[in-house]
């Protein structure tokens, strides 16, 4: 196998998570039939009569209109012939599922797309306008290209919905949803799933290729259901779950909500004198700094501010750190400081050597081991047993996650041909490998959750059309995806201790409180969170991928909002390590600050939600033992709240993840003022650090690291 060639081809593919279109909601091709003069079948006429009757002027006063703040329902006046529609209720109140079947039948009977559009426009014309006082930012439905407003209330145990939009076709969608659900019991509203509407997408209700309209159809339903839960909870006097902490970013500033957010926000605006001290030291010593998104918020805050004065500072995901270090070396930096765990320092050293800069010193900020739960899992005896099993099955390829040591990569290649992947290109890497080598067996590791998510993703692809699959990878179809599933293996005992916490409790709370928010998730999260994010992705409301994919997604959605030039509040659930907040806030503030003030004065606010609980912070003044543990840090930071629980795990089982202890522990005692002194005494990651195996196998790593 030409592994280097495989790596090169895989890397040339665009990132699956950030570049490919929506996976599971693309309309199927419409089979066109000869046009004809359409007459609505008699069995469908009650549907139209019902909708028309609901919106006609009051029969008691022909000149009157239904009040704009009135709810309406078709269920009270709809009656379906039981012999034609056995699933419909025999009484006047038809179920939502029966109505949906009628709606699907109606649109299936309209062969020409233009006829379906006309029907939607007709229903839009019947939808009463909503009073302007109800068209607030709080009532906006998130994720819709057009503006959609939704008001939800309860009347005698039934749900009532008012919807309006500035798009006529969108209003047609809303009219259909209101007809389905207005007047229904809460349980009936919550029972309807977005996939139940797929039959309407399949017959081209939204027009071929119009993914944004599919998103609208689904997002309005999700908002209806979220607000139904809130109305029911209030009606029953139930106490709703406490909101997660968050940071609200506007053009005017930042507003933290909750103690955890306050602790994060303290570091976003560092002291200017400290920033200048760091810049002076870096310039004098010609030091470049590469840091990971998950590093200490204090250090990230200072580094982000220093970037304005010293360009050789870069905060990114792990592989880009090494690429940035090469650029810094080309620009004259004599030293590179790596703020991250050990495998990141090793990557930087290896890539600099390969690029021809062995003389550039690479420094890690501690003389102690800076570990990673995934890297340690890959060096365990059980992982070696896993690779031994792979070695006796040919042809085999070991796809190893970049979050592992160079020693692991070297030893792995001794047993099985090995290629390195990142969270953003792992899907393309595996698909490319299966496409090039017949009967290949792929052994992925060490991240168990990522392996499980890859398997689930391919399982979902196996029921997609060949056209949809080819958009993800041009060399695959449904048959090839089905054939690769039994030949894909993943390690069963490796997790990131940070992303492990995004499990059942967190997913339940997100479903309850944030189902209509934008949802971001790292590819390392457990299956429940992965499925939730993938469902949101189908509606244009989510992203699954690397830290950079997450940042790019947020950036694009904020830019889209600015382009619409309307008042809007965007809410993002951050499904990864909270250290990402520094880069997210910097990116969002830059976008909001660049908005043209003469464009009309639209106000866009961005809320970043942390899935953590109050247990995910340590109050340093609570006990003498904590004072001793955090005393020096508290004195230097002058704060009483530190991200991370007192026991050191950095996460809360009740709320989710706060921070990665591996990323934080090594830099808690770092002071910007003594940067050069720290570098002078820190361990230099040079060639002498590695044992003899490095010289023998370094060229292998350089071939297998996928850019």
Measured CA distances, 480 to 73, 435, 474, 476, 694 (Å): 48, 8, 11, 6, 38
Burial status of residue 529 (CB atoms within 10 A of its CB: 0-12, 13-18, 19 or more)? buried
Closest CA to 43 of 135, 96, 98, 106: 106
Measured CA distances, 307 to 260, 266, 345, 679 (Å): 26, 19, 21, 19
Distance between CA atoms of 309 and 672, rounded to whole angstroms?
Answer: 15
Q: Which DSSP letter does residue 92 get?
A: S
Give the count of beta carbons closer than 10 Å to the beta carbon of residue 342.
Answer: 21
Whether residue 506 contacts residue 656, with contact meaning beta carbons closer than 8 Å, is answered with: yes
DSSP state string for 449-490: HHHHHHHHHHHHHTTS-HHHHHHH-TT--HHHHHHHGGGEEE
Q: In DSSP terms, which residues pair with 289 in a beta bridge?
A: 313, 337
* Coil vs helix vs strand at 79: coil
Whether residue 434 contacts residue 487, with contact meaning beta carbons closer than 8 Å, is answered with: yes
Distance of CA 17 to the CA centre of its chain: 9
Q: Which of 74, 144, 333, 657 is catalytic?
A: 144
Distance between CA atoms of 560 and 570, rounded to whole angstroms?
Answer: 11
Which region, left, alpha or beta, applies to residue 81 given φ > 0 means left and ψ of -120 to 50 means alpha? beta
Distance between CA atoms of 347 and 320, rounded to whole angstroms?
Answer: 10
Whether residue 398 contacts residue 412, with contact meaning beta carbons closer than 8 Å, is answered with: yes
**Rounded to the nearest 5°, which phi and psi values hold at 418?**
-125, 140
Closest CA to 11 of 435, 356, 443, 427: 427
Which H, E and C letters describe 383-395, residue by residue?
A: HHHHHHHHHCCCC
Give the count of beta carbons closer than 10 Å to the beta carbon of residue 31.
Answer: 8
**Rounded to the nearest 5°, which phi and psi values hold at 392?**
-95, 5
> What contacts 127, CB < 8 A, 6 or more positions away?
55, 163, 164, 171, 172, 174, 175, 178
Could you tell me where the beta strands, DSSP code E, fall in 29-157?
A: 148-155
> What contacts 325, CB < 8 A, 6 or more positions away?
288, 290, 336, 338, 348, 351, 352, 360, 362
Q: Which DSSP letter does residue 266 get?
A: T
Active-site annotation holds for 74: no
Give the count of beta carbons closer than 10 Å to the beta carbon of residue 207.
Answer: 16
Whether residue 462 contacts residue 482, with contact meaning beta carbons closer than 8 Å, is answered with: yes
Whether residue 650 contacts residue 659, with contact meaning beta carbons closer than 8 Å, is answered with: yes
Tally the C-alpha atoms within 13 A of residue 522's C-alpha that lie toward its C-beta. 28
Measured CA distances, 595 to 389, 569, 608 (Å): 57, 15, 20
Cα Rg of the chain (Å, integer): 28
Distance between CA atoms of 702 and 346, rounded to whole angstroms?
Answer: 12
Which residues are catalytically annotated? 144
């Amino acid at each position: 196998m030409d592994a280097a060639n495989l790596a090169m081809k895989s890397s040339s593919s665009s990132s699956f998570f950030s570049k490919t279109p929506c996976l599971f909601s693309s309309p199927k091709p419409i089979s066109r039939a000869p046009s004809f003069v359409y007459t609505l079948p008699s069995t469908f006429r009650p549907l139209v009569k019902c909708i028309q009757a609901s919106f006609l002027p009051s029969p008691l006063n022909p000149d009157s209109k239904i009040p704009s703040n009135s709810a309406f329902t078709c269920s009270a006046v709809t009656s379906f012939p039981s012999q034609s529609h056995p699933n419909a209720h025999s009484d006047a109140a038809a179920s939502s599922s029966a109505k949906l079947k009628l709606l699907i039948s109606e649109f299936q009977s309209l062969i020409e797309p233009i006829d379906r559009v006309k029907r939607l426009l007709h229903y839009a014309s019947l939808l009463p306008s909503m009073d302007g006082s109800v068209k607030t930012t709080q009532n906006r439905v998130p994720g819709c290209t057009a503006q959609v407003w939704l008001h939800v209330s309860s009347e005698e145990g039934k749900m009532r919905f008012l919807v309006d939009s500035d798009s006529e076709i969108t209003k047609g969608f809303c009219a259909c949803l209101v007809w389905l659900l207005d007047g229904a019991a809460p349980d009936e509203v919550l029972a309807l799933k977005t996939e139940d509407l797929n039959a309407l997408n399949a017959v081209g209700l939204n027009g071929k290729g119009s993914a944004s309209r599919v998103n609208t159809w689904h997002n309005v339903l999700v908002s209806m259901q979220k607000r139904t839960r809130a109305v029911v909870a209030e009606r029953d006097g139930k106490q709703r779950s406490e909101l997660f902490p968050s940071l609200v970013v506007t053009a005017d500033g930042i507003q933290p909500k909750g103690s955890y957010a306050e602790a994060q926000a303290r570091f976003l605006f560092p002291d200017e004198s400290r920033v200048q001290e760091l810049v002076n030291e870096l310039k004098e010593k010609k030091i470049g700094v590469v840091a990971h998104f998950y590093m200490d918020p204090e250090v990230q805050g200072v580094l982000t501010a220093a970037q304005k004065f010293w360009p050789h500072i870069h905060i990114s995901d792990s592989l880009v750190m090494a690429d940035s270090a090469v650029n810094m070396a080309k620009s004259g930096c004599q030293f590179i400081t790596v703020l991250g765990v050990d495998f990141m320092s090793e990557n930087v050293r290896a890539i600099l050597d390969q690029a021809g800069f062995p003389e550039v010193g690479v420094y890690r900020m501690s003389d102690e081991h800076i570990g990673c739960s995934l890297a340690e899992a890959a060096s365990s005896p059980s992982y070696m047993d896993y690779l031994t099993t792979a070695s006796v099955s040919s042809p085999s390829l070991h796809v190893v996650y970049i979050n592992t040591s160079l020693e692991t990569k070297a030893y792995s290649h001794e047993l099985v041909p090995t290629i390195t992947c990142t969270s953003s290109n792992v899907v393309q890497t595996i698909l490319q490998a299966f496409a090039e080598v017949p009967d290949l067996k792929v052994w992925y590791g060490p991240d168990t959750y990522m392996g499980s998510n890859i398997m689930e993703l391919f399982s979902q692809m196996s029921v997609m059309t060949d056209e949809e699959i080819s958009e993800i990878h041009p060399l695959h179809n449904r048959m090839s995806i089905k054939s690769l599933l039994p030949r894909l293996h993943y390690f069963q005992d490796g997790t990131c201790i940070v992303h492990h916490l995004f499990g059942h409790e967190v997913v339940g709370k997100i479903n309850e409180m944030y189902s209509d928010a934008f949802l971001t998730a790292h590819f390392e999260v457990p299956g429940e969170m992965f499925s939730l994010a993938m469902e949101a992705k189908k509606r244009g409301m989510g992203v699954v991928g690397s830290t950079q994919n997450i940042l790019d997604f947020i950036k694009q959605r904020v830019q889209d909002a600015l382009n619409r030039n309307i008042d809007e509040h965007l809410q993002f659930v951050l499904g990864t390590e909270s250290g990402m907040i520094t880069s997210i806030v910097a990116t969002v503030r830059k976008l909001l600050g660049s908005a043209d003030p003469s464009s009309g004065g639209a106000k866009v606010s961005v809320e970043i939600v942390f899935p953590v609980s109050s247990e995910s912070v340590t109050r340093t003044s609570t006990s003498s033992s904590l004072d001793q543990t955090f005393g020096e840090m508290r004195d230097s930071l002058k704060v009483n709240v530190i991200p991370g629980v007192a026991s050191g795990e950095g996460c809360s089982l009740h709320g989710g993840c706060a921070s990665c202890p591996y990323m934080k522990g090594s830099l808690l005692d770092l002071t910007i003022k003594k940067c050069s002194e720290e570098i002078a005494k820190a361990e230099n990651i040079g060639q002498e650090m590695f044992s003899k195996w490095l010289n023998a196998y370094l060229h292998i790593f350089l071939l297998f690291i996928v850019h």
